[in-house]
């Protein structure tokens, strides 16, 4: 796939310490986005749809930096602080804390995709009791917010779980856990392959702004790459800072009966992220 334009920029993010008003940086980003869009068009016209979508994903990153330069710099610095962390559970806890801050939420969780089953397993959480953790310890259904986000590899918001028909199997646990709204954002590696989902929950019906969702998505794109590298280097260790963690699937199989309402979605691990 022709991604040389992207590779020039999506390594060390050379502009992250530059002035947000630098016309040189702005011009370079404009040219980069244009080159990526052109490359995506060529790939699509030659029938390489997956490659086109990947390059469009890179172009969307550049567009974000153009439109949100100060936020982009903050996100790059936040992700740079994640890179030295080697334990996946600790790393997931840090990612969750940042997303909760961006989403203005006081509870949430991070789930990773089990490579064998395709199901989601909780690796870090904050604000939930054991009953919630048992119910959602392993998720392979299409009704929950995280399950839908994973299946589509796209952000999903349920503004009111009581009014959402698909969420019906989980309404009882939502009521007992005290949440009415939830947003879920996929975590993907550099190629757009799904590795997990980060979700935040709200006590009342709630809808995040389009800008907030976009910022969360950009951070998740960056953090997902770090998580992917960490997860491939070591198994989840069940530890996190500032949040409680759950071990991966082998340690929570006893809870699977209450959290899995369907067969695992085999397409999750290989899904392609939407730009």
Instruction: Tell me the β-bridge partners of 126.
Output: 108
Tens digit of pLDDT for each residue in 168-212?
999 999 999 999 999 999 999 988 999 999 999 999 999 999 999
Q: Which two tokens stand for residue 241?
A: 């800072």
Tens digit of pLDDT for each residue in 37-68?
999 999 999 999 999 999 999 999 999 999 99
Q: Enter the DSSP assignment of 234.
A: S
Residue 219 phi/psi, 5-degree rounding, is: -65, -40
Q: Which two tokens stand for residue 269?
A: 């691990």
Q: What does pTM read for this prediction?
A: 0.78
Contact 120/196 with Cβ under 8 angstroms? yes
First-to-last alpha carbon distance for the chain, in angstroms, is 17
- Burial of 108 by CB count in 10 Å (0-12 exposed, 13-18 middle, 19+ buried)? buried
pLDDT at 234: 52
pLDDT at 143: 84
Query: Is residue 24 very low, low, confident or very high in pLDDT (cuts 50, 70, 90)?
Result: confident
The mean predicted confidence, pLDDT, of the chain is 81
pLDDT at 5: 43
Residue that is written with structure tokens 């009415």 in the block: 180
Q: Which two tokens stand for residue 86?
A: 């080697």
Contact 245/92 with Cβ under 8 angstroms? yes
Tens digit of pLDDT for each residue in 99-111?
999 999 999 999 9
d(CA 74, CA 80): 10
Least confident of 26-30, 238-242, 270-274: 270-274
Q: How many residues does the chain have?
A: 275
Contact 202/210 with Cβ under 8 angstroms? no
Contact 87/237 with Cβ under 8 angstroms? yes
């Amino acid at each position: 796939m022709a991604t040389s334009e992207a590779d020039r920029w999506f390594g060390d993010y050379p502009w992250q310490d530059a002035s947000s008003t630098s016309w040189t940086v702005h011009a370079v980003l404009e040219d980069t986005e244009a080159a990526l869009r052109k490359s995506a068009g060529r790939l699509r016209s030659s029938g390489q749809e997956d490659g086109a979508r990947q390059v469009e994903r890179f172009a969307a990153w550049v567009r974000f930096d153009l439109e949100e330069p100060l936020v982009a710099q903050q996100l790059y610095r936040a992700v740079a602080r994640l890179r030295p962390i080697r334990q996946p559970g600790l790393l997931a806890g840090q990612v969750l804390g940042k997303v909760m801050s961006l989403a203005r939420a006081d509870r949430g969780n991070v789930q990773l995709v089990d490579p064998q089953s395709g199901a989601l397993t909780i690796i870090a959480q904050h604000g939930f009791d054991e009953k919630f953790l048992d119910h959602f310890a392993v998720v392979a259904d299409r009704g929950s917010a995280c399950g839908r986000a994973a299946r589509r590899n796209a952000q999903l918001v349920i503004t009111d779980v009581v009014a959402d028909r698909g969420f019906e199997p989980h309404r009882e646990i939502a009521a007992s856990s005290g949440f009415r709204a939830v947003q879920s954002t996929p975590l993907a590696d550099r190629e757009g392959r799904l590795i997990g989902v980060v979700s935040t929950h709200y006590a009342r019906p709630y809808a995040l702004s389009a800008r907030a969702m976009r910022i969360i998505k950009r951070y998740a794109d960056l953090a997902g790459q770090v998580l992917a590298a960490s997860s491939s280097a070591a198994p989840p260790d069940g530890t996190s800072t500032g949040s409680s963690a759950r071990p991966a699937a082998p340690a929570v199989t006893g809870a699977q009966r209450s959290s899995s309402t369907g067969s695992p979605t085999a397409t999750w691990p290989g899904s392609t992220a939407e730009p």
